[in-house]
Copies of this chain bind each other. A is one copy, B any other.
Amino acid sequence: MNIDDIDTPAILIDLDVVEANLSRAQSYANDHGIALRPHVKTHRLPLFAKRQVELGAQGINCQKLGEAEVMADAGLTDILVTFNIIGAAKLDRLAALHSRIQIAVVADNVPVIDGYAARFTDPDHPLDVMVECDTGAERNGVQSGEQALDLARRITAAPGLRFAGLLTYPPSNPKATGAWLAQAKQIIEADGIAVPKLSSGGSPTLYSAHESGGIDEHRAGTYIYSDRMQVAAGLGTLADCALSVLLTVVSRPTDTRATLDGGSKALAADVCAAPGHGHIIEYPDAILTKLSEEHAVVDVSACDSKPMIGARVRVIPNHVCVVVNLFDKVHLMRGDTVEQVLDVAARGKSN
């Protein structure tokens, strides 16, 4: 099967670029003595999760239990779920995972820890719980080292829980993140509680994680495929983008306008610092000015040669993680040859 046999819209993944991206990140982590824990939210594929572990990753990172279940079913054995798990249904699912693999979770508040403590009570098989810290990004996380200490104490006091360290995402910048976590660690250790691990995350700061000083683990997802947002943030070039969306030019209503057969249901509406809704590899001067659900409107006025109706183009999306979550299948490519068509096993597993 060849690229010409693929109907559009479709996701193409360049296996050579994936391999280069994975190897580069793992080498960096090895060189700096930082454990790399890849986030599978980006690819949602057991095949690549296994390859990441094979290359030396320290287990994997999931954002939701649904993803973790898919990965555990596929044979992954060390999973960190970086989400506050709440409610009986989810705690039962967490317990089922805990009974068969090494699983760790996070907490940034007392009710969540109370939920874990009530559900996990076996001192011989405790649940690892990290404390999530808000180091400046203003999403989840405790606001100070003192608050982190309070939660570390509560985790330590629960017989069935084990305090597994401090975690943050997204980091502000490596140095500030490192300083925040180091101070919190100091406060907690002064109380007599060991802090086994400091974990930061994010693809944009992946190659500067060592600047934090003292980070034990870095979690990153997008680096496997990269995207326009990463390139705009300074992480590599468009040549490092492994994933593109194959689309067809379905109309040329005017001399300067083309439309493609994929819109926000194929490319997602996420914007980034680069102009427009994606980069067309074959027409680098084109701008995807507008997405409706199934159409992209493209301004081709700056293109030397303009695309004909029926032409097929590859679009590097702005934000690859949400694009993967829109498709049921991906095409794994070696050059123009389709090596494999894979179901996105964890697509939609956001529960």
Contacts and interface: CB of A to CB of B under 8 A. Distances in A.
Integer count of this chain's copies in the complex: 2
Given A111-B310, A139-B292, A89 B7 contact: yes
Given A265-B325, A266-B350, A350-B266, A87 B139 contact: no
Given A86-B309, A251-B109, A348-B328, A138 B293 contact: no
Given A7-B89, A89-B7, A266-B350, A251 B84 contact: yes
Nearest to A254: B143
A8 interface: yes
Nearest to A133: B253
Interface stretch (A14-22, A157-165, A207-215, A255-263): A255-263
Contact of A270 (B251, B269, B294): B269
Nearest to A111: B309
A310 B86 contact: yes
Contacts of A155: none
A268 interface: yes
Contacts of A271: 269
Interface residues of A, number: 60
A155 B327 CA distance: 35
A262 B310 CA distance: 38
A109 B7 contact: no
Contacts of A268: 264, 268-269
Given A109-B309, A248-B87, A322 B138 contact: no
Interface of A: 7-10, 41, 63-64, 83-84, 86-87, 89-90, 108-109, 111-112, 134, 138-143, 170, 248, 250-254, 257, 259, 261-262, 264-266, 268-271, 290, 292-295, 297, 308-310, 321-322, 325-328, 348, 350-351
